Amino acid sequence: MTHPMLAIPAALPAGSPWGAQTLAERASASQNLWVTAGYFLLAIVGVTVLLTLLGMVLIYVERKVAAHFQCRIGPKRVGPFGIFQTIADTLKLLFKEDFVPPQADQVLHILAPFLALLVPVVLLALIPYSPMTQIADLNIGILFVTAIGGFGVMGILIAGWSSNNKWSMIGAMRAGAQIISYEISATLALLVIVLFSGTMSLSGIVHSQSEGWWVWRGHAAGFTAFIIYLIASTAELNRTPFDIPEGESELTAGFHTEYSGLRFAFFFLAEFINMFTVSALTATLFLGGWMPFHVGDWAVLNGAMDAIPPGVWFLGKTSAVIFLIMWIRWTFPRLRVDQLMHLEWKVLLPIGIANLLIAAVLVLTNFYPFPH
């Protein structure tokens, strides 16, 4: 039997601040809170599964691409065609001993891998995968991408400093100098697209390419910006030929020399998620994103292109850029530090500034009908 003092009346006196309407609002707010918490938990689980699967797929593809470039077979023993090899490696890293150097900064040593993985995860939320699939469409999308992308170097710097290892520290300093330097050229290439499209919103940039992709519709300025962004973003990924922060021949493994187990897996995963993010941004900015390929007034061809779902177009373009980045890695040798800095400050940067000026002249003189 319910105690009379604990019973909630069906309706309280009129004018009471604890009336029936207030009780209903409280019940609704509590229900909405649980629903929001459920969605938040589901989003965390979904993102975790997506990143894990994406990383494993890209690692497998990288191994196969590298093997074929070098006339080898690649993974073939664990599962059909070796498709379960990355799963086996993931399980190995999960159960591997996680050793932290005694003299290392314990807190920062643990925090660094999470910072390195956080940046590409945040950027994934801004990319328009299709007309109806985009988590956040900011009107300052390009500015946000530039700001957050530059923050990614903090995880590397913290990893190198907190490890209390001179090789790790040298690798971190190399990464800091390299990423900050090439960020300038990447930003100059992005500004060309902002001039052409007249917006910093990523979805707006995709819509601005409805009459043609900027890689060829922007004339020589668009193609030059594409090449500069591809080179600069590859350098920011610390991939060959720009992998001097991890130089195995002189630094063992660079900034993550003292990492093992799950935390090393986080750095490994961050590299491949970063590669997907950079490829997706390249496809969005220069290759039309989810927009189909059209040729003038060719109605039959354009109709066939429109029949392909936008998501397929986006994944196809992103996959092509990923293959191109892998092709570069397994073709060119590693640059020296002086060669890497010479390429940025004496080659890419002057070309990028001149290209931005040319793009500004094209827009101001209305040399081509840009969407403003």
- pLDDT above 90 covers a percentage of the chain that reads 32
Please check whether residue 23 lies inside any domain of the structure: no
Please check the confidence at residue 315 and state whether its pLDDT lies above 90.
yes
Q: What's the average model confidence in pLDDT over 353-370?
A: 83
Shared domain for 81 and 155, answered yes or no, is: no
Shared domain for 184 and 296, answered yes or no, is: yes
Please check the confidence at residue 164 and state whether its pLDDT lies above 90.
no
Average model confidence (pLDDT) for the chain?
84
Q: Render pLDDT for 30-73 as a digit per residue (tens, 0 to 9).
A: 677 777 777 777 767 777 777 888 888 999 999 999 999 988 98
Shared domain for 181 and 227, answered yes or no, is: yes
Q: What pLDDT sits at residue 27?
A: 60
- At residue 19 the predicted structure's pLDDT band, cuts being 50, 70 and 90, is very low
Q: What's the average model confidence in pLDDT over 259-285?
A: 89
Q: What's the average model confidence in pLDDT over 74-87?
A: 88
- pTM, full prediction: 0.85
Range of the domain at 91: 28-95
Q: Render pLDDT for 193-247 as a digit per residue (tens, 0 to 9).
A: 999 998 999 999 999 998 889 998 888 999 999 999 999 999 988 888 888 877 7
Q: How far apart are CA 126 and CA 134, in angstroms?
A: 6
- Structural domains in the chain (count): 2
Shared domain for 263 and 132, answered yes or no, is: yes
Which of 95, 115, 140 terminates a domain? The answer is 95
Q: What pLDDT sits at residue 104?
A: 80
Shared domain for 52 and 71, answered yes or no, is: yes
Shared domain for 258 and 347, answered yes or no, is: yes
Please check whether residue 13 lies inside any domain of the structure: no
Please check the confidence at residue 354 and state whether its pLDDT lies above 70.
yes
Reported as half-sphere exposure (CB side, CA atoms, 13 A), residue 41 has a value of 6
CB atoms inside a 10 Å sphere around CB 91: 11
- pLDDT above 70 covers a percentage of the chain that reads 89
Shared domain for 90 and 105, answered yes or no, is: no
Q: How far apart are CA 226 and CA 190, in angstroms?
A: 9
Q: What's the average model confidence in pLDDT over 7-25?
A: 48
- Helix, strand or coil, per DSSP, at residue 260: coil
Please check whether residue 355 lies inside any domain of the structure: yes
Shared domain for 69 and 116, answered yes or no, is: no
Which of 77, 95, 113 terminates a domain? The answer is 95
* Cα dihedral 283→287→292→294 (10° resolution): -170
- The tokens describing 367, both together, are 């040399």
Q: What pLDDT sits at residue 15?
A: 47
Please check the confidence at residue 5 and state whether its pLDDT lies above 60.
no
Shared domain for 313 and 173, answered yes or no, is: yes
